[in-house]
């Protein structure tokens, strides 16, 4: 019966390959949304991960950077610098705002850098120009440069300030929050924050535990919150999920549901197209388990081929989509691709069992009559 099932499949190659392609499309949809989710999740905290101080210090009651504001008096930074466990304190100003460039508005992270920060809080990877802006200058993400055809020497607008592009950073773009770097004095002027900072990047001396240093800062400096780097990144990522990335997660769930329905429907139509042959097999005395086995085998063949096509697309094509669509960062997870394959198995079984059950209820006399 399995031999018949295989011969039946390959005898109609167009139907077989089109069915497998339909299943592959469903799997690709799921894998694509998952890759977008993982890529955006990675990029949304890219600046924090790159900066990587031992401890982040911010205003009391604040525990993240995404969609937050923080103000710390400069004397508190001086007090932290005096601690024996501290090697360096790098203050930054920070603002969520809209940057206008290339005729488009971009909701962005704006980071203000002091001239004597010695590159501590700047973008590490610069594609063109330089990474440290002077007053009246800005460093923009490379993706925005590509999308708006803006480069070194061009201008962007932050509120009412016209800033000259002097650098193009790499890895500082996400769909939720591209990161722009400006001079501390420019952002200070916009925020009217004289005498205050937004966040302090605190580097501990070698051998000092970050958790213990964070606790000491909170105990000895009033009205601040201090978090070790890993805890701060985790907190910011959790907030980002609530604010925007979870939309992509919902899209992934919808895509997964559609994929399951499409796999089941494809298996169903493939089996029902063979119901006359299966009905005849039942009429001549072929055991039920053999008929069910043939039905499941065909469904698994179609689903398996569709999954392999989707997996090849995910590993061989998706990594290059960023070249055509630079605003999308895709991270393909082999483990997640494997999970999609595991989910496909019960869906294929279910898609075959329902029409198999209907075939079993066919009246043999009706089959021969047709």
Q: What is the pLDDT of residues 288-335, one digit of tens each?
A: 677 667 777 777 888 888 889 999 999 999 988 888 888 888 888 898
DSSP character string of 264-285: HHHHHHHHHTTHHHHHHHHHTT
Q: What is the pLDDT of residue 31?
A: 87
**Six-digit token string for 112:** 């203000």
Contact between 311 and 334 under an 8 Å Cβ cutoff? The reply is no
**Six-digit token string for 338:** 């494997």
**Six-digit token string for 319:** 């990594």
Residues in CB range of 264: below 8 A, 6 or more apart = 347, 350, 351, 354
Q: What's the pTM value of the predicted model, to 2 decimals?
A: 0.78
DSSP character string of 101-163: ETTEEEEEEEEEE-TTSTTTTS-S-EEEE-SSPPTTEEEEEHHHHHHHT--TT-EEEETTEEE
CA angle 331, 334, 336 (to 5 degrees): 85
Report percent pLDDT > 70 for the chain. 81
pLDDT at 368 over 60: no
Residues 137 and 161: their CA atoms lie apart, in Å, by 10
3-class SS at 224? Answer: strand
Q: What is the pLDDT of residues 116-156, one digit of tens each?
A: 877 789 998 999 999 999 999 999 999 999 999 999 999 99
Taking residues 193-215, report their average pLDDT: 95
Backbone phi, psi, residue 157, to 5°: -125, 125
The closest of 91, 148, 144, 97 to 121, measured between CA atoms, is 91
Chain centre distance of CA 272: 39
Residues 63 and 293: their CA atoms lie apart, in Å, by 57
* Helix residue ranges per DSSP H, the chain: 2-11, 13-44, 46-51, 74-81, 142-148, 184-191, 210-220, 229-240, 246-272, 275-283, 288-316, 321-324, 334-360, 364-369
Helix (H) or strand (E) holding 242: none
Q: Which residues pair with 199 in a beta bridge?
A: 92
CA angle 280, 285, 290 (to 5 degrees): 85
Q: What is the pLDDT of residues 9-52, one digit of tens each?
A: 666 677 778 878 888 888 888 888 888 888 887 888 999 999 99
CA angle 92, 96, 97 (to 5 degrees): 120
The closest of 119, 159, 167 to 139, measured between CA atoms, is 167
Q: What is the pLDDT of residues 65-95, one digit of tens each?
A: 887 889 999 999 999 999 999 999 999 999 9
Q: What is the pLDDT of residue 244?
A: 55
């Amino acid at each position: 019966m399995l031999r018949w099932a295989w011969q039946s499949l390959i005898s109609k190659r167009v139907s077989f390959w089109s069915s497998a392609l339909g299943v592959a499309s469903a799997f690709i949809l799921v894998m694509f949304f998952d890759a977008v989710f993982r890529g955006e999740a990675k990029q949304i905290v890219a600046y924090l991960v790159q900066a990587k101080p031992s401890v982040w210090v911010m205003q009391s009651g604040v525990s993240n950077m995404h969609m937050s504001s923080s103000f710390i008096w400069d004397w508190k930074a001086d007090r932290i610098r005096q601690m024996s466990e501290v090697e360096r304190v790098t203050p930054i100003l920070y603002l969520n705002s809209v940057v206008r460039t290339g005729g488009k508005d971009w909701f962005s992270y704006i980071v203000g850098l002091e001239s004597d920060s010695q590159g501590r809080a700047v973008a590490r990877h610069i594609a063109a120009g330089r990474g440290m802006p002077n007053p009246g200058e800005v460093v923009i993400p490379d993706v925005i440069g590509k999308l708006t055809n803006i480069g070194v020497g061009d201008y962007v607008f932050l509120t009412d300030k016209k800033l000259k592009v002097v650098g193009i950073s790499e890895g500082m773009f996400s769909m939720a929050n591209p990161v722009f770097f400006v001079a501390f004095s420019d952002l200070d002027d916009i925020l009217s924050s004289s005498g205050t900072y937004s966040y302090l990047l605190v580097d501990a001396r070698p051998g000092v535990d970050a958790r213990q240093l964070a606790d000491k800062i909170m105990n000895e400096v009033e009205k601040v919150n201090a978090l070790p780097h890993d805890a701060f990144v985790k907190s910011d990522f959790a907030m980002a999920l609530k604010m925007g990335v979870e939309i992509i997660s919902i899209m992934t769930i919808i895509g997964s549901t559609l994929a399951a329905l499409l796999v089941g429907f494809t298996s169903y139509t493939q089996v029902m197209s063979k119901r006359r042959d299966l009905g005849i097999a039942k009429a001549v005395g072929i055991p039920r388990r053999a008929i069910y086995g043939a039905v499941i085998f065909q469904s698994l063949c179609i689903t398996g081929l569709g999954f392999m096509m989707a997996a090849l697309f995910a590993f061989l094509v998706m990594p290059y989509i960023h070249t055509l669509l630079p605003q999308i960062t895709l991270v393909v997870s082999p483990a997640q691709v494997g999970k999609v394959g595991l989910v496909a198995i019960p869906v294929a079984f279910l898609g075959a069992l329902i029409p198999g059950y209907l075939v079993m209820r066919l009246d043999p006399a009706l089959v021969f009559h047709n």
